[in-house]
Amino acid sequence: MKLPVSLVLSAAVALSIAGCMRVKPNESESAPSPVAEAPAPDVDVIDPYRVEFETSAGDFVVEVHPDWAPRGAARFKNLVESGFYDNTRFFRVVPGFMVQWGINGDPAVQSQWRDKVIQDDPVRQSNKRGKITFATSGPNSRTAQVFINFADNNFLDGQGFSPFGEVISGMDSVDAINDQYGEQPDQGQIQQRGNEYLNQKFPELDYIKSARVIEMPISKPAPEAKTDAQSEVGAEEKADAAAAEEKPAEANKPMAEDKPAAEEPKDDKPAESTEKPADKPAEADKSAASDTPEAAKPADSPKETIEEIQ
């Protein structure tokens, strides 16, 4: 029995569609889920560098000193250059204490850095106002969260918080970061949901628009110190020049005539002086000494009291 041509064509089209429908789910199932790129390893930094932060509260610049905290300086530069801090929120702002940030708004990116801990640096600088330091959850636990001190928080020094840089301009912008939510944002929720959670629950948080490494100003080299021999040569040259200037002046003077000196009459007895001895100078008025003010005693320097902020 022969089937109509139209029926055969319909069956072929149906099989083709069915085959396509089977392939698509398989492709969908095998496609990998998007993941963030793995962080690059930290690279040792020797020279100081600067980072410019553009934020919703205003801009500020941080100068990083690797000699203060080498590991912290290397990690911070890696984070900045990878764009980690871009679009992140200042999620913890405690007036009179510090402002903290460093949880990426994308949970996929954050998960790549969560376990990239670095070893502690010795504390070589104090947590003074404007100093920037990594936050920790214990010894050797630093990853990406950092904070800037609003005040002199010296008590943090003994707890192992090692500053690696300081704000050199725009501290007024740091002071202006919105503090209305204090410590309310939950770090666990930020880790899991990122900016979606923060935008929903804390929409007025200030945030970082961009952070980038900028060039350091080129400082002029200091003049080389002269050796003792060079200093002596220079002094001799100056003396010769001064002598050369004086000689023409002496040459212009008329020469004195040579005349024999007049002989003085000799007398064995000293000539008596007809002049009366001069009156002794009146003693200085003693009262004048009393008019001289006594040396002013230096005022006691004010003592600075620093309170620890819990």
Does 159 reside within a domain? yes
Quote the CA–CA distance of 167 and 121 in Å, as a whole number: 20
Domain count, the chain: 1
Tell me the H-state helices in the chain: 5-30, 70-81, 107-113, 171-175, 187-193, 195-201, 228-251, 286-291
Question: Which pLDDT does position 293 carry in this prediction?
Answer: 38
208 within some domain = yes
Q: What are phi and psi of 167, to 5 degrees?
A: -75, 125
Domain that holds residue 86: 49-214
Is 105 a member of any domain?
yes
Residue 82 lies in a domain: yes
CATH of the domain at 169: 2.40.100.10
- Are the C-beta atoms of residues 69 and 121 closer than 8 Å to each other? yes
- DSSP per residue, 105-132: SSHHHHHHHTT--BPPPP--S---TTEE
Residue (of 78, 11, 90) closest to 40 by Cα position: 78
Encode pLDDT of 53-71 as tens digits: 999 999 999 999 999 999 9
Distance CA 40, CA 19 (A): 43
In a domain, 84, yes or no: yes
pLDDT of 16: 42
pLDDT tens column, 98-148: 999 999 999 999 999 999 999 999 999 999 999 999 999 999 999 999 999
Flag whether 191 is in a domain.
yes
pLDDT of 217 reads 83
Question: What pLDDT, on a 0 to 100 scale, did the predictor assign at position 198?
Answer: 98
Rank 20-24, 32-36, 134-138 by mean pLDDT and report only the highest. Answer: 134-138
- The residue behind tokens 């024999």 is 260
pLDDT band at 85 (very low <50, low <70, confident <90, very high): very high
- Whether 69 and 94 have beta carbons less than 8 Å apart is answered as no
Residue 297 lies in a domain: no
H-run or E-run covering 84: none
Number of alpha carbons in the 13 Å side-chain half-sphere of residue 175: 8
**Pairwise pLDDT comparison (217 vs 62), residue with the higher score:** 62
Q: Greater confidence, 149 or 253? A: 149
Specify the pLDDT at position 226. Answer: 60
Comparing C-alpha atoms, which of 100, 103, 57 is closest to residue 79? 103
Tokens 């203060």 — which residue?
Answer: 68
Q: What is the model's pTM?
A: 0.62
| Residues whose CB is less than 8 angstroms from the CB of residue 185 and which lie 6 or more positions away in sequence, other chains included | 89, 91, 92, 198, 201, 202, 205
Is 10 part of a structural domain of the chain?
no
Q: What would the pLDDT profile of 191-206 be if each residue is shown by its tens digit?
A: 999 999 999 999 999 9
Main-chain phi, psi angles of 208, to 5 degrees: -90, 125
Query: What are residue 100's DSSP bridge partners?
Result: 92, 147
Terminal-to-terminal C-alpha distance of the chain: 94
Here the tokens at position 247 are 């000689």
